[in-house]
């Protein structure tokens, strides 16, 4: 067995794990959030993280590994404090995502799934992140950075490495670390839901035009 967590860490993780498991009719459903939880502890899913999940759910480690390796968000090795994704699916790629990736990767000196030597930033080629009307799209620790270009992308990574505050386009004022983000995904909210806009400008385009023209849905049925 690999070295486990320290007794204090383990006690804290067990408390969190039990809370997560309690949300489901069957314990095994808690596996994905538990993997997010151990990722929040170490910045990746380690051997001992997998062992911990297995113990909490009464599974074998092989069963846990079979699951964790299936999902791309679980990282096999530590990622940067800021994990930067560039969308390279067709629409973003064509709109400039490919050029952003090429220039950014060269600028930072790291490739797909690699981290800068200072451990600050890692890069990933990501698939469509459901923000195509904001193309080209980047994500940092799974927060939206919309409408990027090569210069803004390089500036973003430079700022992250220099420890400057950067603000997502649609997200909280302060960008969380990768570990903090993973904890939110595990189901432990920070109090940042109220930050940021309700919607970005493209999301409002149709509504704006409807208002301008006085268009609405029909009035409700008379009989209702």
Partner 1 sequence: MTTLTPVLTRNWDQPDSFTLRGYGDYAAARKALGMDPDAVIQAVKDSGLRGRGGAGFPTGLKWGFIPQNDGKPHYLVVNADESEPGTCKDIPLMMANPHALVEGIVITSYAIRAAHAFIYVRGEVLHVVRRLRAAVREAYDAGLLGTDVLGSGFDLELTVHTGAGAYICGEETALLDSLEGYRGQPRLKPPFPAVAGLYACPTVINNVESVASVPSIVANGPSWFSSMGTEKSKGFGIFSLSGHVTRPGQFEAPLGITLRELLDMAGGVRAGHRLKFWTPGGSSTPIFTEEHLDVPLDFESVGAKGSLLGTRALQIFDETTCVVRSVLRWTEFYAHESCGKCTPCREGTYWLKHVLKRLEKGEGTEEDLTTITDIADNIVGRAFCALGDGAAAPIHSSIKHFRDEYLKHFEVGGCPFDRAASTVWENA
Give the footprint of partner 1 on residues 203-222 (CB under 8 A): 203-210, 213, 215-218, 220-221
Is 53 assigned a ligand-binding role in the annotation? no
* 200 scored as a contact of ligand FES (CB under 6 A): no
Helical spans, DSSP H, in the chain? 7-21, 31-42, 47-57, 61-68, 90-92, 98-108, 150-161, 178-186, 205-213
Q: Which of 13, 35, 87, 123 binds ligand FES (CB under 6 A)?
A: 87
- Which residues, numbered 135-154, are part of the site for ligand FES (CB under 6 A)? 135, 137
Q: What three-state secondary structure class fits 121?
A: strand
Piece of the chain touching ligand FES by CB under 6 A; list 31-39, 87-95, 180-188, 191-199: 87-95
Residue 54: alpha-carbon gap to chain centroid: 24
Q: Would you say 52 or 144 has its CB closer to ligand FES?
A: 144
- Residues with Cβ within 8 Å of residue 87, at least 6 apart in sequence: 93, 97, 126, 127, 128, 129, 131, 135, 136, 137, 138, 139
Is 132 assigned a ligand-binding role in the annotation? yes
Q: Which of 65, 128, 185, 192 binds ligand FES (CB under 6 A)?
A: 128
CA angle 81-203-131, nearest 5°? 40
* 13 scored as a contact of ligand FES (CB under 6 A): no
- Residues with Cβ within 8 Å of residue 15, at least 6 apart in sequence: none
Name which of ligand FES, partner 1, none residue 54 binds, using a CB cut-off of 5 to 8 Å depending on partner kind.
none
Q: What three-state secondary structure class fits 30?
A: helix
* 46 scored as a contact of partner 1 (CB under 8 A): no
* 24 scored as a contact of partner 1 (CB under 8 A): yes
Give the residue numbers of the binding site for [2Fe-2S] cluster: 87, 92, 128, 132
């Amino acid at each position: 067995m690999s070295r486990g967590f320290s007794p204090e860490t383990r006690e804290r993780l067990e408390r969190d794990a039990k809370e997560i498991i309690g949300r489901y009719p069957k314990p095994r459903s808690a596996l994905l959030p538990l993997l997010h939880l151990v990722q929040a502890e170490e910045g990746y899913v380690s051997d001992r993280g997998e062992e911990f999940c297995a113990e909490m759910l009464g599974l074998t480690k092989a069963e846990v590994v079979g699951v964790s390796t299936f999902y791309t968000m679980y990282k096999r090795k530590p990622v940067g404090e800021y994990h930067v994704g560039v969308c390279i699916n067709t629409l973003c790629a064509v709109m400039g995502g490919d050029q952003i990736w090429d220039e950014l990767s060269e600028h930072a000196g790291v490739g797909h799934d690699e981290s800068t030597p200072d451990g600050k930033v890692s890069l990933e080629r990501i698939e469509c992140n459901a923000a195509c009307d904001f193309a080209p799209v980047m994500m940092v620790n799974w927060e939206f950075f919309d409408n990027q270009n090569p210069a803004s992308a390089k500036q973003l990574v430079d700022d992250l490495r220099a420890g400057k505050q950067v603000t997502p386009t649609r997200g909280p004022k302060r960008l969380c670390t990768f570990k903090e983000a993973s904890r939110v995904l595990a189901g432990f909210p920070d109090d940042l839901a109220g930050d940021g806009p309700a919607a970005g400008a493209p999301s409002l385009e149709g509504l704006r035009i409807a208002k301008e023209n006085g268009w609405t849905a029909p009035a409700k049925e008379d009989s209702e």
